[in-house]
Amino acid sequence: MEKRLCQLCGKEIPAARLQALPETNRCVDCARLKGSDIKRTRREIGMDPDTYQDLLNATRS
């Protein structure tokens, strides 16, 4: 999978997050602090994308 760096802090965005949110340009920490850059997904999945990511992590662990 293509690597992507966070547009705010420059850290690499984890592959699991890119799988869940292919359009994101922010890491989890920055999305929580500054807000996610994904707007469209919120309507499609019916919840905040980062909350959705937390649920994915919870079910996989």
Told to check if 27 binds Zn ion by CB under 5 A, we report: yes
- Does 21 contact Zn ion by CB under 5 A? no
* Cβ contact 56:16 at 8 Å: yes
- Closest CB to Zn ion among residues 29, 44: 29
Residue 8 sits in the site that holds Zn ion (CB under 5 A): yes
Taking a C-beta distance cutoff of 8 angstroms, is the pair 41, 21 a contact?
A: yes
Element (H, E) at 29: helix 28-34
Pick from 5, 9, 47, 55 the residue near Zn ion by CB under 5 A.
Answer: 9
- Interface contacts to Zn ion, rule CB under 5 A: 6, 8-9, 27, 30
